[in-house]
Amino acid sequence: MMTRRVVVSLSGGMDSTAVLAEALDRGYDVLAVGFTYGSKHNTYENAAAINVAEHYNVPFTLIPLTAVARHLKSNLLIDGGDIPEGHYEEETMSQTVVPGRNMIFASILAGIAWSNDADSVWMGVHSGDHAIYPDCRPDFVDAMNEAMQLGTDERIHLETPFLHANKTSVIDGCDRYNVPWHLTRTCYKDQPIACGKCGSCQERLEAFAANSIEDPIGYETREIMQKGS
Amino acid sequence: MMTRRVVVSLSGGMDSTAVLAEALDRGYDVLAVGFTYGSKHNTYENAAAINVAEHYNVPFTLIPLTAVARHLKSNLLIDGGDIPEGHYEEETMSQTVVPGRNMIFASILAGIAWSNDADSVWMGVHSGDHAIYPDCRPDFVDAMNEAMQLGTDERIHLETPFLHANKTSVIDGCDRYNVPWHLTRTCYKDQPIACGKCGSCQERLEAFAANSIEDPIGYETREIMQKGS
């Protein structure tokens, strides 16, 4: 039987790294693809993706989308406002939505999957994203999977193994994979060390604490905030 | 009442030009967006889009996607094989499919529409595309529209006014708009004058002939082929 080939969207964050670990654990032939799109943390995130791909010895392609992102508005991007701080489900976190980002990534990855005889696109969206990011919710994922299958003549489908998991259970579920969390980047801010205060850092800190595991990366602060506090 | 703002995908071809004419006729505030993606006819197509936008005095943005297209395989692209000749519904024409192209365009345009307070993305797909291009078929368009609406929290939807029309009826329906067909580019080949032999030229020649209108652009040959001939 031929080994399945899959395309993994690898941002350098924890969730996409976990998806990569999962796909490799199943023995699939993986092409990892990331994007530069002018986010404040892109330099650090891209470096993390390169290190993770190197760790797993998988081919990694980094595709520049800065010319696209120039026409998108978000505080996550270099020319946007400040990154909000607080719980990851706070309404203010919607300032970090990049309009259409996951839809754009999914579409490009489907084209790349088709062109490279892969059968699917794997993305690390999970339930922690659902509150803020419309293109990470299950109903979007279902519709996008349908569009992807129809738009590729049933060649490519979308897989999101952690769609209904939260970050805490992603860490828990990856226990047996020995995922290199120390190589991953989560903070949204434009600085080398994680701030610990943005919604993204807060979600990560909460997830490690819930697993009683020490997060191996450095932070400016590790204090966990409650929603609405 | 506020004027509706819409984003029109403008390639410089006849169908997207007709969509632009339609949106302007309805009095909408239009942002026209095109892409460079390394197709053999991109230089001519992009120039046509610029001229059409200039003709209508609408803002036009050209977004480079060559770094994405480098990872896609198609004879339409500069590094692909020869453009096939013959009827536009011949099986050989599927060599000109660019994997995921319209899905990618639609996704990016949705992000741009959201970022610019538009309410929809308009694309010129029509029934002549259905045989060969999976991401131009009605079932794909329905699924993509669903994904787009869910992925943008119901802000943006997809409109395809000619989805069930063929090129002949697009020309017929545009009669009252005085569309500048002479500015549009249809040929898929890497040459300034239309070849008249590729599927795209053939479909155009057939459509003008069926309307008993002389196509105002120049061709190497204007002979119309039958399907299967």
Show the DSSP H helices in B82-198 as ranges. Answer: 101-115, 138-151, 167-173
Exposure string of B191-201, with b = 16+ CB inside 10 Å and e = fewer, is eeebbbbbbbb
CA dist B61 and A201 (Å) reads 36
Looking at the predicted structure, is the pLDDT value of residue B154 above 90? yes
Q: Rounded to whole angstroms, how far apart are CA atoms B103 and B81?
A: 23
The predicted-structure confidence for B107-128, as pLDDT tens digits, reads as follows 999 999 999 999 999 999 999 8
pLDDT for A171-207, tens place per residue? Answer: 998 888 889 999 999 999 999 999 999 999 999 999 9
Sheet of A157-159, strand order = A60-64, A29-36, A5-9, A120-122, A157-159
- Asked if A139 is an interface residue toward chain B (Cβ–Cβ < 8 A), one would say yes
What's the rounded Cα separation, in Å, for the pair A59 and A31? 6
Which tokens belong to A66?
Answer: 């800065």
For A156, counting Cβ atoms within 10 Å of its Cβ (0-12 exposed, 13-18 middle, 19+ buried), the class is buried
pLDDT grade for A5, boundaries at 50, 70 and 90 = very high
What's the pLDDT band for A229 if we cut at 50, 70, 90? low
- Global pTM reads 0.96
- Please list the residues that pair with B120 across neighbouring strands: B6, B157
How many CB atoms are located within 10 Å of the residue A154 CB? 11
Domain architecture of chain A: domains with CATH: 5-83+100-182 (3.40.50.620)
CA–CA gap between residue B199 and residue B205 (Å, rounded): 10
Please name which of A108, A35, A89, A185 lies closest in space to residue B105, comparing C-alpha atoms: A108
B-chain residues near A67 (CB < 8 A):
63-65
pLDDT at B228: 75
Q: How many CA atoms lie within 13 A of B161 on its CB side?
A: 20
Measuring CA to CA, how many Å separate A77 from each of A74, A124, A205, A220, B130?
6, 20, 23, 22, 38
Strands A120-122 and A60-64 turn out to be: unpaired
User: Which chain A residue is nearest to residue B131, measuring alpha carbons?
Assistant: A153
Alpha-carbon distance B151 to B158, whole Å? 12
Residues 69 through 128 of chain B touching chain A, CB cutoff 8 Å: 71-74, 98-104, 106-108, 110-112, 114-116
pLDDT exceeds 70 at position B229: no
**Which residue has tokens 């993390």?**
A48
Per-window interface: A 168-187 vs B, CB < 8 A:
none
Give mean pLDDT, residues A4-14. Answer: 97
Q: What number is the ipTM of this complex? A: 0.96
- The 8-class DSSP code of residue A36 comes to E
Token representation of residue A102: 């996951």
Determine the Cα–Cα distance for residues B96 and A46; give it in Å rounded to an integer: 33
- Note whether B63 contacts A: Cβ–Cβ < 8 A: yes
